[in-house]
Amino acid sequence: MGWIERFCERARPLSRRIVLPEGGDEAVVRGAARLAGEGIAQPVLLGRRQEVAALAGGASLDGVEIVDPTDPEVLEAFATAYASRRDGVSHGMALRLVRRPLFFGAMMVAEDRADAMVAGANHSTTRLSSSSRMPRSWRASPCSRHVMPRPCWRSNRTS
């Protein structure tokens, strides 16, 4: 069993809610469907339901929660919470920030609506780091991991 399989086996019984803020990316949507289908995690995709369903390409989204990051009630609550945590940040500035999917996802974690956030399909490590740190006043611990399975190219080398 490889390390990815071991990771998945360890994740299943934990049943963590993982927010995926890049719900407009087809690979992310299909990955969320796989996470739910295989019982690895409880994925939460950010996006509009119709757009996410179209990107799924027929894959089942059973077990995938879809959260619209433009919901005014949630935005208001997140902006209020964000502004209360950061000195010098007005409510209006906080509202502009939490409208961004990465900040929205980070606020889901900060407000205990998700256990973790996984992103990076369309955003740089710098953007991920800044969005994850801001809601928690620099107490978050973002990390960067890149898993890129590829065919073994060594066997094709000539000596």
pLDDT tens-digit readout, 52-91:
999 998 889 999 999 999 999 999 999 999 999 888 999 9
Instruction: Report how far apart, in Å, the C-alpha atoms of 15 and of each of 79, 115, 130 are.
Output: 28, 10, 27
Q: How high is the pLDDT of residue 48?
A: 94
| Sign of the alpha-carbon torsion through 121, 147, 32, 18 | negative
pLDDT one-digit tens code per residue, 63-74? 999 999 999 999
* CA triple 83-87-88, angle to 5 deg: 85
pLDDT band (50, 70, 90) for residue 120: confident
Domains, in order of start, for the chain: 3-140 (3.40.50.10950)
Q: Of 12, 8, 10, 17, give the one whose Cα is nearest residue 64.
A: 17
Judged against a pLDDT cut of 60, whether residue 153 lies above it is answered with no
pLDDT band (50, 70, 90) for residue 4: confident
**Which residues, other chains included, contact 25 with Cβ-Cβ below 8 Å and sequence gap of 6+?**
55, 121, 122
How many percent of the chain have pLDDT more than 90? 58
pTM score over 0.85: no
Judged against a pLDDT cut of 80, whether residue 148 lies above it is answered with no
94-121: average pLDDT: 89
